[in-house]
Amino acid sequence: MADSRSVSFRAQTTGAINDLLIAEDVSNAKLQNLLVYFAGALLNYKDEGVEFSPNIVICHDVGSFLQSFPGPVSYEIGTVPFEVSSGAQILKDCAPLSGSKWSIYIEQKASTLTYGVFSYFQSPTAVTLEDSMSLSSQIFAILVRRSSLNTIEMRGAKGNSASFLFSTVLDPTDERPPIKKFCTKCVSEIAASDTLSDFYMYFVRLVEVALSNSHGTILVCMNKKKKMTAIPSMKDAVPLKPTLDFFRVFAEYQRQKSADSILDLQRCEELLFGFMKCDGIVAFDTSGQVRAYRVFFKSSTKGDKDVGPIVGGARRRAFEGLKKLGKEHLLAVLFRSQDGTTIHHEAA
Amino acid sequence: MASGNIVPWKPALPAVALDTISDANELAKHAIQLRKREQNQITANFAAGNYEMVATYIWSRTMALLKKQLSALGSAFIGELLQRADIDEHTDIQTAVSETEAISLARDLGMITPTQTMRLLQSQTSIAHFSGATDNVGDDEQLTQEEAILCLRVCVQGVLSHESIGAAEDFHSFRKKLTTETFTKDSAEISKLRQSPYFFVRTAISVLLSLFKSTKGAQLEHVALNAQLIIPLFWKELKEPERWQVGQTYAVEFNEGRKESLKGLHTVLLAVKGFDYVPENLRSATFIKVASSVIAAHQGMNNFYNEPAPMAELASLGTSIPGPALAKCMTAVLCVKLGNSYGVSHAAQSYANEVLKGISADRWLYYLNGRLGEDLVVLSELHAEKPTKNWLALVRPLKIREQDVHGSRIRELIRATNKNDIAKVQSAAMTMYRTAVGVG
């Protein structure tokens, strides 16, 4: 007898959200359905053709939630009935207002949802919204955000979290270890100091954010004394003159803590985000500097026999080629595919 | 809180009782931190009647040695205690910390007694006058032998007669215990702290907050648990500047991304419902830095010429002074407005007035209730006639009501101010000053 099955993402998502809500001491079917809606809607939310991936915090009282944040500001936008269908209205009204500094809040009442946007004073090194969720463990709050291209993360104030990976080819993996390994290499020639440990924390977070904003990229780390032109297969590049020296700008910010130094750092960050959105590879060195972008790898050896079949497109092939370059050229490579796969390779 | 001398860390007693000695030669012999040659030079200059020269020399050496001892605690930590974000581990304490700050800190850390503090501050006034002023000191006026002996005696008693290492040992021990033990309400240290003068409690809070920034792992856990015990225990007694300090530390840790220490501080603020004291931004660090430079200029040589530049900078930062910086900025502005016994820096007045325009009645009350009682810089100026007259000219028109200020002493000061009674203002300020240094 022929077998017929239908597999629903929704059913699995609903189950996991139910578990999360129970762990957060909440039991509310309407809330559960709303979260299921957001999980799907945030995956690829567009308004007027522009893509948005806002952070959404659902809580009982935005004032109580924001008291843990320095300099909080919130603007109420509207009130809608507490129904799943209201989710679309909230996103329509608030998503275009959200960004790196502004997030959406939803106050859940008995029969209504009051929503708006909030922000707080954030320096470049400030604790992220997701990390600060657990500070408010005495209240109810759940953060919903798109953590990478195919992944929605929900995190509760009591410390419970759930990740929803909408892909049939990826396994749920923690992308942080490979990024941290790569960043460790990128700061390996900076003299040890308190500033370095602060910089490392900042740098890891910066690369994480830049990668999640990109649609896939490759980052390489090379010896700071090595010239780009000395690597024949990577000559096609746009070298930066002067190099983008993140550590110097960060140290200046640490020393001055002035508005000027924050702006300097933010300018560098924006440039890096731009580099990562460009085609090609972004080259870092071991002192926290960006040396070049739009670097294109051209393998010098044709018909490599020792490489097995490569699954993926041009970026994946470039990554496999870069892996063979050896320590004398590259110290580490970080690959990020469009679907979120993150792989770190360190030259032997 | 009692004003007794039961403290978590006790000042080192002077090696010998020097109060009855007035012979320069005898006193110089006890200055074991000085070289033999220096001791001989002091004796010779006293014998030759070069009182100003020798007193200035002794004072400079004493301050340098005191700052050296303080710097042994770590510059960053000193910066934390003074709430000065501009002082980090690379800062030279010798140049960055003013004399009054060094003396107050030494007192807070139990390195010198309250009486020595008071005497050192008195000597500082005399030395600053004779060494710094040029136009205000007549040719026939000079530092007397008695004043020079007074200076020598207190410098030897407080600093020069002690081994250079070993100062603040009790304090070190208390600080260490905060990172290695978790106190309970019944711990001896907590009982002692309950009976200590306010400035020790203030220092304990500063130490705790500083440790949040510098410790990790198990040490941080001890610090967090101790903070959760100590800060709520004293929260009601804490004055506004100290409460802002707790909130400021939380904001700094948040913006530095230190998640571990943030949790402990969050629990503390939750327990005391103190989130109102978390500043909206970190602008206060800039205000505190500039205000400190105004105070340093006021206390340094040629203050009339050096006050205008930093005061202009302070005025240029705007009149919206963040809460955590308000106490320091008020001290800075009052330094300029009150001046000293020889007058005021005329060029700095307009900038000070600019800042004062933005000080509302509420903010005046904040300063009067929260900081003036501890403000050694301002209270010490109110000993002299000219600054007291300037105080009256500045504060009397504000028509501050007695019932709006807390504490009998500050009320007395305001009452005298409103009555335009110079003598009573000075007397009230003197009483407050003695209490602030711990001898009242």
Q: What is the tens place of the pLDDT at every residue in B74-85?
A: 787 787 777 676
Q: Which of B88, B255, B257 has its CB closest to that of A70? A: B255
Establish, for the pair of chains A and B, how many residue pairs have beta carbons separated by less than 8 Å. Answer: 58
Please give the average per-residue pLDDT across B130-137, as a whole number.
60
* Residue B338 scores a pLDDT above 70: yes
Predicted confidence at residue A223, as pLDDT, reads: 85
Question: Are β-strands A217-222 and A281-285 bridged in parallel, bridged antiparallel, or unpaired?
Answer: parallel
Low-confidence winner among A200-214, A223-237, A298-312 (lowest mean pLDDT): A298-312
Query: Cβ distance A54 to A87 under 8 Å?
Result: no
Which one is predicted more confidently, B351 or B164?
Answer: B351
- Residue B433, classed as helix, strand or coil, is helix
Distance from CA of A126 to the nearest CA of B (A): 4
- Residue A239 in contact with residue A180, Cβ under 8 Å? no
How confident is the model at residue B401, as a pLDDT?
A: 93
Is residue B4 very low, low, confident or very high in pLDDT (cuts 50, 70, 90)?
A: very low
Alpha carbons A106 and A289: distance in angstroms, whole number: 40
Counting residues of chain A whose pLDDT is more than 70, the rounded percentage is: 94
Question: Mean pLDDT throughout A291-306?
Answer: 73
Q: Which range among A165-174, A240-249, B16-25 shows the weakest confidence by mean pLDDT?
A: A165-174
- Residues in A closer than 8 angstroms to B281, CB to CB, are 70-71, 121
User: Locate tokens 């490569």: which residue?
Assistant: A310
Once rounded to an integer, what is the mean pLDDT over residues B342-363?
93
CA distance B212 to B253: 9
> What is the tens place of the pLDDT at every residue in A63-89?
999 999 998 999 999 999 999 999 999
Helix or strand or coil: residue A86?
helix
Residue A123 DSSP one-character state: -
Q: Is B343 helix (H, G, I), strand (E, B) or coil?
A: strand
Mean pLDDT along residues B246-260: 90
Q: Rounded CA gap, B324 and B285, in Å?
A: 8
Ranked by mean pLDDT, which of A43-52, A332-341, B173-182, B396-405 comes out on top? Answer: B396-405
Residue A231, SS3 per DSSP:
coil
Which amino acid does the sequence have at A114? T
Q: pLDDT higher for B270 or A313?
A: B270
More reliable by pLDDT, A162 or B91: A162
Beta strand spans in chain A (E): 45-47, 50-52, 56-59, 73-81, 103-108, 112-119, 141-148, 151-156, 161-165, 217-222, 236-245, 281-285, 289-296, 332-336, 342-346
Mean pLDDT for A252-273 is 88
Statement: residue B15 has pLDDT above 80: no
Name the β-bridge partners of A236.
A296
Please report the pLDDT score of residue A18 as a whole number: 93
- B332 exposure class (CB count in 10 Å sphere: 0-12, 13-18, 19+): buried
Of B7-21, B23-37, B188-202, give the range with the top mean pLDDT.
B23-37
Return d(Cα B63, Cα B300) in angstroms, integer.
Answer: 13
Instruction: In whole angstroms, give the CA distance from residue B264 to residue B182.
Output: 14
Q: What is the pLDDT of residue B192?
A: 83
Which residue in the block uniquely carries the two structure tokens 């080192």?
A: B12
| For residue B133, pLDDT beyond 80 | no
With cut-offs at 50, 70 and 90, classify the pLDDT of residue B16: low
Report, as an integer, the average pLDDT of B222-251.
Answer: 93
Read off the pLDDT band of A260 (50, 70, 90).
confident
Sign of the CA dihedral B304, B310, B311, B316? positive
Q: How confident is the model at residue B108 (pLDDT cuts 50, 70, 90)?
A: confident
pLDDT category at B230 given cuts 50, 70, 90 is very high
Tell me, what's the pLDDT at B137?
A: 60
Q: Is the pLDDT of residue B437 over 80?
A: no
CA distance A174 to B421: 73
Given pLDDT bands bounded at 50, 70 and 90, which one contains residue B121?
confident
Cβ contact (<8 Å) for A257 and B257?
A: no
Q: How many CB atoms lie within 10 A of CB B55?
A: 28
- The whole-number pLDDT of residue A83 equals 93
Joined together, the tokens standing for residue A181 give 């390994």
pLDDT of residue B8: 56
What does the alpha-carbon distance between residue A280 and residue A258 come to, in Å, rounded to a whole number?
A: 35
In this predicted structure, which of A177-191, B156-170, B343-357 has the lowest mean pLDDT? B156-170
Of A129-133, A253-257, B12-16, B182-186, the range with the lowest mean pLDDT is: B12-16
Distance CA A15, CA A150 (A): 19
Could you give the count of Cα atoms lying within 13 Å of A347 in the half-sphere of its Cβ? Answer: 18
Give phi and psi for A165, each to the nearest 5: -100, 110
- Confidence (pLDDT) at B5: 42
Give the pLDDT score at B113.
Answer: 82
Question: Could you tell me the two tokens for B339?
Answer: 């001046």
Q: What is the pLDDT of residue B282?
A: 73
Whether the pLDDT of residue B1 is over 50: the answer is no
pLDDT in the model for residue B342: 82
| A138 vs B250, B263, B270: nearest CB | B270
What contacts A100, CB < 8 A, 6 or more positions away?
A209
Instruction: Answer yes or no: is pLDDT of A309 > 70.
Output: no
The pTM of this model reads: 0.77
The pLDDT, as a whole number, for residue B416 is 95
Does the pLDDT at position B233 exceed 70? yes
The pair of structure tokens assigned to B399 is: 């028509």
Tokens coding A185 = 């290499």
Chain B interface with A: residues with Cβ < 8 Å: 85, 88-89, 250-251, 254-259, 262-263, 266, 270, 275, 278-282, 285-286
- Retrieve residue B61's tokens: 């050496």
Nearest CA in chain A to B253: A126
**What is residue B2's predicted lDDT score, i.e. its pLDDT?**
41
Average pLDDT over residues B221-246: 93
Q: In this prediction, what percent of chain B has a pLDDT beyond 90?
A: 42
pLDDT tens, A113-140?
Answer: 999 999 998 888 888 898 888 888 889 9
Contact residues, chain A, for B257 at CB < 8 Å: 125-127, 198, 201-202, 205
Which one of A43-52, A176-185, B226-235 scores highest in mean pLDDT? B226-235
Residue A139 touches chain B, beta carbons under 8 Å: no
Residue of B248, B255, B317 for testing the chain A interface, max A β-carbons within 10 Å: B255
Q: How far apart are CA A206 and CA A340, in angstroms?
A: 17
Of B245, B334, B243, residue with least CA distance to B285: B245
pLDDT at B27 over 60: yes
Residue numbers in A near B273 (CB within 8 A):
none
- Residue with the two structure tokens 């305001």: B414
Q: Tell me if chain B has a CB within 8 Å of the CB of A167.
A: no
Q: Provide the pLDDT for residue B86.
A: 72
Name the residue among B250, B255, B280 with its Cβ closest to that of A123. B255
- Provide the mean pLDDT of chain B: 85
Q: What is the pLDDT of residue A289?
A: 94
Overall average pLDDT of the A162-167 stretch: 84
Q: What is the pLDDT of residues B408-420, one digit of tens each?
A: 889 999 999 999 9
Alpha carbon distance A74, A67 (integer Å): 11
User: What confidence tens digit (pLDDT) does each residue in B369-406 have?
Assistant: 988 998 888 998 898 889 999 999 999 999 999 999 98
Q: Indicate the burial class of A83 (C-beta count within 10 angstroms; 0-12, 13-18, 19 or more).
A: middle
Of B263, B270, B280, the CB nearest to A71: B280
- The whole-number pLDDT of residue B433 equals 86
**With an 8 Å Cβ cutoff, are A71 and B286 in contact?**
no
Strand order across the beta sheet in which A217-222 lies: A236-245, A289-296, A281-285, A217-222, A332-336, A342-346
pLDDT for B279-310, tens place per residue? Answer: 877 778 788 889 988 988 887 778 888 899 99
B11: pLDDT strictly greater than 70: no
- Amino acid at position B380, single letter: S
pLDDT on residue A311: 53
Residue in A closest to B322 by C-alpha: A71
The reported pLDDT for the residue numbered A73 is 93
A127 to B259: CB separation less than 8 angstroms, yes or no: yes
- Which residues in chain A have their CB less than 8 angstroms from residue B278's CB? 70
Could you tell me which of B335, B372, B385 has the C-alpha nearest to residue B355?
B335
Q: Give dist(CA A77, CA A102) in Å, integer.
A: 13
CA distance A164 to chain B (A): 25
Q: Do A126 and B257 touch (CB under 8 A)?
A: yes
Residue B165 has pLDDT above 80, yes or no: no
- pLDDT of residue B68 exceeding 50, the answer is yes
Per-residue pLDDT at B169: 63
